[in-house]
A = this chain, B = another copy of it.
Amino acid sequence: MSLDLAVIRAAQARIGPYIKYTPVLTNEALDAARGARLHYKCENLQAAGAFKSRGACNAVFSLTDAEAAHGVVTHSSGNHAAALARAARLRGLAAHIVMPTGAPQSKVHNVASFGGRITFCEPGLTAREAACAQIAAATGAEIVPPFDDYRVMAGQGTATLELLQDVPDLDFILCPVGGGGLLCGTAVAAKALKPGLKVIGVEPALADDVAQSFRAGRRISIPTPATIADGLRTNCPGEKNFPLIQQYVDDIVTVSEEAIIAAMRELWDTLHMVIEPSAAVPYAALLEHKFVFGGRKLGLILTGGNVDLAAVPWLK
């Protein structure tokens, strides 16, 4: 299996009953401020509050009964964990979630609210992967990685099928980049449906593993990033993701922490959407004029809305 339009269309049919067809918003004030026609795909309104429900549902409902018999397992401190726990519950499976000690209480609560069985481990990718593998070996649970997985990428690509159905004549799609799950699904879907459409990945400058790798032509690892965009703190593009990014993505640009916070505030203030810092990253690229987009028609994927309301960044 790899990733192509047919696989993404099959994912769309599979997950339809379990996820939301989210609205695309426009805002005349923001268009005037930015000098472009902006279309916001509101995945903050997705089930469990993030696009991650798409990939998690596709993975869970792709499993054969034999593969599903012992549940699923992943390591994540964020939206993928909650989405996988929810998807597993919808199919009546156990979901084992490895979370690092010190994960925010709100994220722990979110996973628990969907019935996820939480195992805490030391922070750091090595400890997390080891704990995940150990649980998989002990229970027979199927591992569902957060991004380095074709089933997950195909599910994430369904957001772009919806976006292009609602707004067929986009010139650009802007997409936040963590490990590349959403970016690959987006780019493969978009280029298949409209080859002239440009797909731009946007990454925090503090977490620029994919931007560095894209320029170097090989996967580069960086130390664990400290960006406020907690959904994008990956330190290396996925092994399956990187070749797809090289083939289908037009550019990767990076943005400052200041721009991410300013973008988040502007979208709360004017679009009236609660979005998490990771979701503000594409709009931050417009604030920092990271590419030429004047007057064009842009789609921005607002990836999620799970944020701690007691710690809004501009009120700290």
Q: Which residues of A contact B (CB under 8 A)?
A: 23, 25, 28-29, 44-45, 47, 49, 113, 265, 268-275, 305, 309-310, 312, 314-315
Q: Which residues of B contact A309 (CB under 8 A)?
A: 265, 268-269, 312, 314
B272 and A268 form a contact (CB under 8 A): no
Query: Which residues from B are CB-within-8-Å of A269?
Result: 274, 309
Partner of A272, one of B28, B113, B305: B305
Known: A309-B314, A312-B315. A272 touches B272 (CB 8 A): no
How far does the alpha carbon of A64 sit from the alpha carbon of B273 in the complex, in Å?
38
The secondary structure that dominates the A interface is: helix
Inter-chain CA distance A270–B23, complex, in Å, is: 17
The reply to whether A314 and B305 contact each other, CB–CB distance below 8 Å, is: no
Given the known inter-chain contacts A274-B268, A309-B314, please indicate yes or no for A45 contacting B25, CB distance below 8 A.
Answer: yes
A316 (CB) vs chain B CBs: closest residue: B315
Q: Which residues of B contact A44 (CB under 8 A)?
A: 272
> Which B residues are in CB contact (< 8 Å) with A47?
28
Chain B's closest residue to A270 (CB) is B49
| Cα-based distance from A113 to B49 in the complex (angstroms) | 32
The answer, among B23, B29, B274, B315, for a CB contact under 8 Å with A310, is B315
Q: How far is the CA of A49 from the CA of B273 in the complex (A)?
A: 11
A273 to B29, CA, bound (A): 18
Q: When chains A and B are docked, how far (Å) is the Cα of A153 from the Cα of B229?
A: 44
- By a CB distance below 8 angstroms, the chain B residues around A265 are 309
Q: Which 7 A-B pairs have the closest CB atoms?
A: A272-B305, A272-B274, A23-B23, A44-B272, A268-B274, A315-B315, A269-B309
Instruction: From A272, A274, A310, name the one whose CB has the most chain B CB atoms within 10 angstroms.
Output: A272
A271: chain B residues at CB < 8 Å are: 45
Chain B residues, Cβ within 8 Å of A272 = 44-45, 49, 273-275, 305
Closest to A311 in B: B315
Instruction: Point out the residues of chain B lying under 8 angstroms from A305, CB to CB.
Output: 272
Closest partner residue, chain B, to A114 (CB atom):
B29
Chain B residues whose C-beta falls within 8 Å of the C-beta of A45 in the assembled complex: 25, 271-272
A139 to B293, CA, bound (A): 44
Please give, as numbers and ranges, the residues of chain B lying within 8 Å of A28 by CB-CB distance. 47
User: What 13 new A-B contacts, CB under 8 Å, besides A45-B272, A310-B314, A312-B312?
Assistant: A25-B45, A28-B47, A49-B270, A49-B272, A265-B309, A272-B273, A272-B274, A272-B305, A274-B274, A309-B312, A310-B315, A312-B315, A315-B315
- If the complex has contacts A309-B314, A310-B314, are A113 and B268 also in contact, measured as CB distance less than 8 A? no
Q: How far is the CB of A131 from chain B (nearest CB, A)?
A: 28
Bound-state CA distance A49–B270 (Å) is: 8
Of the A-B pairs whose beta carbons lie under 8 Å apart in the complex, a sample of 5, sorted by A's number, is A269-B274, A269-B309, A272-B305, A273-B274, A312-B312
- A284 CB to nearest chain B CB (Å): 17
